[in-house]
């Protein structure tokens, strides 16, 4: 367990807002990622893997990392998308109750808590057990947990101490009340992590729809008689082209169309498309994320352009 925590921490040290790495689809080696990879990708640049010297692109790197079976590695994309993680430590006494308020450890109130990991660091073997009221919502996640320290005997050594220092990692999504598009996208990643694909699809489409329409409004694009799933075509022709920016990568556009089709199936027939797999979900959420980032990129470009 300690080894795993060390691996996790060393990987985590490499993941921050400015620098991380993604896994090359050809050799599975780490390829440096920084925030400026997005403008380069939308400008049509490929990335050369410094391990196997093959060209790849940011979308394939992102998707390949999300698909990786290693628990810690496949979490990198959710941090790139905007999730955050807090590490802290508290001491718990055996057979006693302690209340942990996440905001005391820098996690903003109202954040969506995605995952909590408690790892006992000794000296005693005490496992914190969450206490709840009579009613246990299926998906409760508040900003406070009440924990009871249960002594677990798993050693022949005599341990006289009656406390453990517990290392905690909390993965959370800061809720951005001013940006429903971003919040829906964060929610979509949450649904993906919970294997709730219909909810993931609906949240992804909400995120894209808001992003696309917001961008079109800013550029005074007339969307009358334009079907929602065709808005991206208008964006490519009437916003990207005049700004001299390549249209969004064709593979992503195609996958967004598939995502929209999945959404239509749920909305109109109440069911997922037959054979919808985890792989389809990973591709579709990645395409939604890149669609969202593309809108952000176009908006920033337009703000810098002298004609706007
Ligand atoms: Zn490679």
Residue 286 — very low, low, confident or very high, per pLDDT cuts 50/70/90? very high
Residues 265 and 188 in one domain: yes
**Beta-bridge mates of residue 149:** 128
Residue 122 — very low, low, confident or very high, per pLDDT cuts 50/70/90? confident
Residues 117 and 159 in one domain: yes
What is the whole-number distance in angstroms between the Cα of residue 81 and the centre of ligand 1? 22
What is the whole-number distance in angstroms between the Cα of residue 48 and the centre of ligand 1? 8
| Alpha-carbon distance values, 130 to 52, 101, 126, 134, 269 (Å) | 47, 13, 13, 13, 40
What is the whole-number distance in angstroms between the Cα of residue 161 and the centre of ligand 1? 49
Residues 237 and 187 in one domain: yes
What is the whole-number distance in angstroms between the Cα of residue 55 and the centre of ligand 1? 8
What is the whole-number distance in angstroms between the Cα of residue 143 and the centre of ligand 1? 41
Domain stop point among 115, 149, 173 = 173
Query: Taking the model in full, what pTM does it have?
Result: 0.84
What is the whole-number distance in angstroms between the Cα of residue 15 and the centre of ligand 1? 19
Q: What is the CATH number of the domain that holds 114?
A: 2.60.40
Residues 6 and 118 in one domain: no
Full residue range of the structural domain in which residue 48 is found = 2-81
Residues 195 and 300 in one domain: yes
Residues 206 and 269 in one domain: yes
Residues 82 and 172: their CA atoms lie apart, in Å, by 9
DSSP letter (8 states) at residue 124: S
Domain stop point among 30, 60, 81 = 81
Nearest to 77 by CA among 90, 64, 88: 64
Residues 91 and 160: their CA atoms lie apart, in Å, by 16
Residues 185 and 300 in one domain: yes
Segment 138-173, tens digit of pLDDT? 665 678 899 999 888 766 667 778 899 999 989 888
Q: State the DSSP H helix or E strand holding residue 293, giving kind and residue range, or none if neither.
A: helix 278-304
| Contact (CB, 8 A) for 112 and 173 | yes
What is the whole-number distance in angstroms between the Cα of residue 73 and the centre of ligand 1? 16
Domain stop point among 145, 173, 201 = 173
Residue 308 — very low, low, confident or very high, per pLDDT cuts 50/70/90? very low
Residues 198 and 89 in one domain: no
Total count of domains within the chain: 3
Q: Taking residues 24-36, what's their average pLDDT? A: 90
Residues 228 and 272 in one domain: yes
Task: Provide the CB-side half-sphere exposure for 12 (13 A, CA).
Answer: 16
Nearest to 39 by CA among 250, 308, 299, 305: 299
Nearest to 32 by CA among 43, 20, 44: 20
| Alpha-carbon distance values, 253 to 59, 233, 247, 273, 304 (Å) | 12, 9, 9, 19, 25
pLDDT for res 159: 73
Q: Does the pLDDT of residue 196 top 90, yes or no? A: yes
Q: Does the pLDDT of residue 108 top 70, yes or no? A: yes
SS3 label, residue 36: coil
Instruction: Point out the least confidently predicted range of 104-118, 156-170, 217-231.
Output: 156-170
- Ion ligand 1, residue ranges at CB < 5 A: 24, 26-27, 29, 49, 51-52
What is the whole-number distance in angstroms between the Cα of residue 27 and the centre of ligand 1? 4
What is the whole-number distance in angstroms between the Cα of residue 61 and the centre of ligand 1? 10
Q: Taking residues 219-230, what's their average pLDDT? A: 89
SS3 label, residue 71: coil
What is the whole-number distance in angstroms between the Cα of residue 51 and the centre of ligand 1? 5
What is the whole-number distance in angstroms between the Cα of residue 54 and the centre of ligand 1? 6
Q: What is the CATH number of the domain that holds 286?
A: 1.20.120.330
What is the whole-number distance in angstroms between the Cα of residue 30 and the centre of ligand 1? 8
Residues 53 and 139: their CA atoms lie apart, in Å, by 45
What is the whole-number distance in angstroms between the Cα of residue 29 and the centre of ligand 1? 5
What is the whole-number distance in angstroms between the Cα of residue 132 and the centre of ligand 1? 47
Locate tokens 């979308």: which residue?
59
Residues 105 and 36 in one domain: no
pLDDT for res 6: 43
What is the whole-number distance in angstroms between the Cα of residue 82 and the centre of ligand 1? 25
| Contact (CB, 8 A) for 168 and 116 | yes
Segment 53-88, tens digit of pLDDT? 999 999 999 999 999 988 778 888 888 888 998 999
Kindly give, in sequence order, each residue whose CB lies less than 8 Å from that of residue 205, ignoring residues fewer than 6 positions away: 259, 260, 263, 288
Bond before 123 cis per omega within 30 degrees: yes
Q: Does the pLDDT of residue 29 top 50, yes or no? A: yes
Residues 64 and 93 in one domain: no
What is the whole-number distance in angstroms between the Cα of residue 189 and the centre of ligand 1? 26
Residues 117 and 64 in one domain: no
């Amino acid at each position: 367990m300690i080894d795993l925590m060390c691996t996790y921490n060393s990987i985590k040290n490499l993941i921050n807002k400015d620098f991380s790495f993604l896994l090359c689809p050809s050799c599975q080696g780490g390829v440096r990622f920084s925030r400026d990879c997005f403008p380069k990708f939308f400008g049509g640049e490929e990335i050369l893997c410094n391990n196997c010297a093959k060209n790849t692109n940011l979308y394939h790197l992102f998707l390949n990392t999300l698909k990786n079976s290693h628990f810690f590695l496949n979490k990198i994309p959710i941090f790139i998308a905007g999730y955050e993680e807090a590490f802290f430590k508290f001491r718990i006494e055996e057979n006693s109750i302690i209340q942990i308020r996440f905001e005391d450890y820098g996690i903003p109130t109202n954040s969506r808590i995605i995952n909590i990991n408690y790892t006992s660091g000794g000296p005693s073997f005490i496992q914190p057990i969450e206490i709840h009221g009579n009613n246990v919502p299926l998906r409760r996640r508040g900003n406070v947990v009440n924990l009871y320290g249960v002594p677990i005997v798993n050693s022949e050594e005599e341990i006289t101490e009656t406390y453990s220092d517990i290392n905690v990692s909390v993965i959370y999504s800061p809720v951005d009340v001013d940006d429903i598009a971003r919040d829906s996208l964060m929610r979509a990643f949450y649904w993906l992590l919970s294997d709730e694909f219909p909810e993931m699809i609906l949240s992804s489409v909400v995120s894209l729809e808001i992003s696309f329409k917001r961008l079109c409004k800013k550029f005074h694009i007339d969307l009358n008689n334009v079907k929602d799933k065709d808005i991206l075509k208008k964006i490519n022709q009437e916003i990207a082209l005049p700004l001299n920016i390549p249209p969004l990568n064709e593979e992503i556009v195609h996958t967004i169309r598939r995502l929209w089709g999945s959404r239509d199936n749920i909305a109109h027939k109440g069911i997922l498309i037959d054979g919808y797999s985890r792989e389809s979900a990973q591709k579709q959420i990645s395409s939604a994320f890149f669609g969202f980032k593309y809108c952000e990129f176009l908006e920033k470009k337009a703000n810098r352009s002298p004609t706007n």
